């Protein structure tokens, strides 16, 4: 039977040397071997929610050289896509997948429309094409 090191259950947890917190480990899954546990906790810290690249975008593995010759355009587009995917996540764990079809983005934040001074109005102007057009939200007409 393996002996459990004394002080094993009173281990202090510190990911950065500056912060020292001592807390006893409550009920938890069995801990991994030391290096793997540290790696796991580091990844958890630097994650910014589902469907997004981690905060410290230092790739652990070197990017694999593509077998086929990739044109610079495709590389740019790929980089843009990655950036879009990154920006979509705000790190609170509640984000949607970047490819989900969303309605029109709100034109302004808060309550007051900066262009017209309307408070409590719709976030997207319903008369998009002026007074002669139909009253619509997300392309869907409700009055004309």
Q: 72, 79 in Cβ contact below 8 A? A: no
Backbone Cα Rg of the chain: 25
With CB under 8 A as the rule, give the number of residues binding other proteins: 34
Segment contacting other proteins (CB under 8 A): 24-32, 48-56, 61-69, 101-109? Answer: 101-109
**Least distance from other proteins to the Cβ atom of residue 126, Å:** 7
**Least distance from other proteins to the Cβ atom of residue 110, Å:** 13
Cα separation, 29 vs 61, in Å, equals 28
- Which of residues 38 and 111 has its CB atom nearest to other proteins in the complex? 111
- Which of residues 11 and 128 has its CB atom nearest to other proteins in the complex? 128
Cα separation, 122 vs 79, in Å, equals 35
The interface mask with other proteins, positions 38-77, x = CB under 8 A, is ----------------------------------------
Alpha carbon 3 to chain centroid distance? 43
Token pair for 133: 């057009």
Q: What is the residue whose two structure tokens read 């589902």? A: 50
Q: What is the residue whose two structure tokens read 């997004």? A: 52
Q: Does 117 bind other proteins (CB under 8 A)?
A: yes
Q: 134, 141 in Cβ contact below 8 A? A: yes
List 66, 105, 110, 115, residue binding other proteins (CB under 8 A): 105
- Residues near other proteins (CB under 8 A) are 101-105, 112, 116-124, 126-144
């Amino acid at each position: 039977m393996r002996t459990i090191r004394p002080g094993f259950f009173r281990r202090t947890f510190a990911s950065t040397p500056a912060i020292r917190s001592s807390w006893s480990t409550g009920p938890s899954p069995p801990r991994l071997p030391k290096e793997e546990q540290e790696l796991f906790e580091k990844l958890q810290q630097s994650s910014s929610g589902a469907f997004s690249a981690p905060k410290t975008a230092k790739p652990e593995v070197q990017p694999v050289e593509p077998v086929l010759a990739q044109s610079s355009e495709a590389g740019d587009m790929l980089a843009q896509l990655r950036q879009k995917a990154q920006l979509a996540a705000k790190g609170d764990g509640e984000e949607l997948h970047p490819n989900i079809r969303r309605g029109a983005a709100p034109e302004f934040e808060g309550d007051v429309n900066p262009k017209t001074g309307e408070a409590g109005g719709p976030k997207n102007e319903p008369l998009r094409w002026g007074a002669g057009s139909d009253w619509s939200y997300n392309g869907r007409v409700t009055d004309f």
